[in-house]
Chain A
């Protein structure tokens, strides 16, 4: 912070996709030795700006200056040669190569024309030790946690470039300790004089780590300000353009009359998961709390038939059903928004419209094709209802932002007129605005009589929409909180194993 020399400057950047102005005369400056946070809602233009700064996109207008000199970036590789490196949310390294290979890929030291593995490994160990990382560099990258992979990616990016480091949602899939570890690394790099551009949707992290913040909204820059002059409400107001405080406290959720039992699971079990009983009522949200690896995703997969059960019964509206695969689950009126949107959720190359109607089409069978008018109508109706922001519904869904993609998947399940909806981390990797919308949608669906089973690692969020909360620990449902018992503290205690077990 002592050094405020601008390193990377963008002036008057304009980027147009089709009819849509993704960025409209945006200025941005990253100084040496600062962490500059970039904030904005879905579709505000954050990733577009980043892609321009790193060379992945070329702007229609405006210029980039590096150390005061204008530069023209052809592609990210070219950006790298100027010292601009990027680490994305989804680490894009090679998971099945060793840590050291990932660090030095493309510039391996060679000996007699052969890759010198010994030297690479030594260099890699040395490099990572500077990041406080002591791992077996010969092991495959995929064997390590996302946090370690993230640090490896940072180390690689810094090695390759070393002037500007762009961190695109680096903490999205990290736990608290890992986040701190990552922040230590970032602070170290900042002290070395790197300009760090930090994109996240965790406001508390912004305040913890960043020096300045630039806020984008609808492709325009709202403000660039030092963070010590701001508070959270200011930032949210600037991002959303209205006073939307995220409501953490449930109102009148508890104690209301429950509807009839919609789905009941009795003694459902699978190897590695304790058998469980659970009934979800009409108009009820059962929230699931638990740490990663507590078995919460496994329960969801079991319910939906992704993994077949070893035993137990499932009834829907009192009728026994057999669910051995997702197709049967869909036939029974179940819907499932999986945790990994990109891998298990969206069909990237298919259109928004097709992504919305696909589950209904699968349920109807291949012979009963929804014609184009039906598809357009359905997609239009649910896109409208969930406020999916897409230029048109024939564009590939992969071009939408994460939040909009999540809404598309939600729309897909609403389209089958579901009786029971399973949501696994529905708000992960989504910015504040869309986050709030999805929480509102969950509440609305509950009010309209749907039975929901929602997994989230954000306690405040679970508390905000759940009628009941199931706590999982060590692949077992260890507690069930109902009514007044629902509170963050109680959940934390249950997760930690200090509360009296509420379930038999």
Chain B
């Protein structure tokens, strides 16, 4: 035994004086601190882009609102009263000041304050997103691991082909098909998901089932593929052989040695999907007439409702970035090797 052996490790993993767990806690704190700076910067850039890009979209909101028989003066007066005149920069700064102080402006499409409008739709979208997420994550883990354990067999290929076919069909086609079968024909669920949005939770979930299924199907194929790859990697890894030759029971091998290692690659993808789902899906929400953030964004963009659109985009951005942050925290907890800082100077 030599002192050299220890000396070398001490150089790479210095003794920090606290346990492995609290070392990870400190890494989480560092990550949170960094994101606290990064997230506002990203949002700032996104808001500038949104505010500026919407100016490029053709269409005249005042003319649209007042119709073809209004005079030019009336349209101009409408524009002034809705804050659509003046230099873009000044208008942007006015919006930014308002947004930061909680005054998110008024939507001229809905004629209500943007804040309650956006947050209300956000809650709806998040409900739907969580529902879809809760359907697709367990399902993809089950399907993916079944595939990995039966790699190359008929069941493996059947699942791949089915999922790939389903996910290559656009959401609105799947959605319409499901509507025809389950709503119009079997009458198991209402056609419009919005109808029961005011009812109790059970009713709402019932109404949300079809859109959630459609959303889940859209992401299921890729997610299952990731789980399959991760699991296949874990069960062909040498540490799996070590676990088997230790004589561990199969269940313990899966729980303690396969599961965590298999799901690490999937986690990163889950973060992206979670952000996308919680922020609302325009196609599915529009199709099912569901009052979510995605549908709201479509309306705001159509009508050039700059203030509403930028507010909604900001909220979507916050949700996505927080979802990513959540994944990164989970990754630190799952994988002791992960490092977010640069390794090369």
Partners in one complex: no
